[in-house]
Amino acid sequence: MNTPADQPVLASGTFTLGSSTNDPLTIRRLGFGAMRITGPGIWGEPADRTRAIQVLQRARDLGVDFIDTADSYGPNVSEDLIRAALYPYSGNGNPLIIATKGGLTRQGPDAWAAVGRPEYLRQCVQMSLRRLGIDRIDLWQLHRIDGKVPEAEQFGVIAQMINEGLIRHVGLSEVGVAELERARAVLPIVSVQNLYHAGNRQSEEVLQYCEQHSIGFIPWFPLGNRELVAPDGPLGAIAQRHSCTPAQVALAWLLQRSPVILPIPGTGSLSHLEENCSAALVHLDPAAMAEIDQLV
């Protein structure tokens, strides 16, 4: 029998993507972001491929059943590693949900450019299917809406791919409420992935919208910068009181902040992975929640 000590992620609870559709998908709320398993600048192969594979497999063993990636991570490297480590995507008797994204091109380390032409978005989906070795992507997210291409064309081809059975559910990344509403007029949006953490609440309005409409909110960069989770940073004293680390405080705050929040902390380190997953066992008291709420 699984226990919190064996699989701490189980303590994070669950969320159902597409709860208003006829094809809902229930996942554990604390997932894993597979961006940092690539090379520096999210470019090329990792320095230690074996360790990257071990991190992915250990995440599964700790109870993670939701892994977020993108075709642009590497590019292609993250998806290739996920297949090498986890195919055929099952863990402890449960399916592993691999969410991926498309719509960004790469020009070098830390260089990204949006391309939303319909034929390119279709290529993104087809190539992700091929790399991951699957027939349908459980959650495919438009990495960025391309301002140079009419939104109707971008949303339209995604709708076509849903109807063709290539995509099960669709999400958006880095959008505001107005963009989200325009997309929802065409697409059954089940998730939004925006920058959000204890030190940056610029997407608060989007989070509130997601709460109102039962849309999953995936905060990327959930641990914020190094200063936020440093031992002597703003979360340090709270961590000491709760016998945990500042990083665990940052993740616990997200899990308690809203039931629609689905944190996906990423790392290439086994020790950091175990630290992050154990954050699901941390319960912040009301005083700590209030203190963190006042950071911004």
Active site residues: 73
Measured from the Cβ of residue 1, the count of other Cβ atoms closer than 10 Å reads: 3
Task: Specify whether the backbone of 200 is left (phi greater than 0), alpha (psi in -120 to 50) or beta.
Answer: beta
Tokens describing residue 290: 């209030």
Amino acid identity of 208?
Q
* Residues whose CB is less than 8 angstroms from the CB of residue 150 and which lie 6 or more positions away in sequence, other chains included: none
Alpha-carbon gap, residue 262 to 218, rounded angstroms? 5
Closest CA to 268 of 78, 5, 105: 78
Q: Which two tokens stand for residue 144?
A: 């960025």
Q: Which residues are bridge partners to 105 per DSSP?
A: 113
Q: Could you give the 3-state DSSP secondary structure of residue 136? A: coil
Q: Please, what is the Cα angle at 258 between 210 and 2, to 5 degrees?
A: 115
* Amino acid letter, 253: W
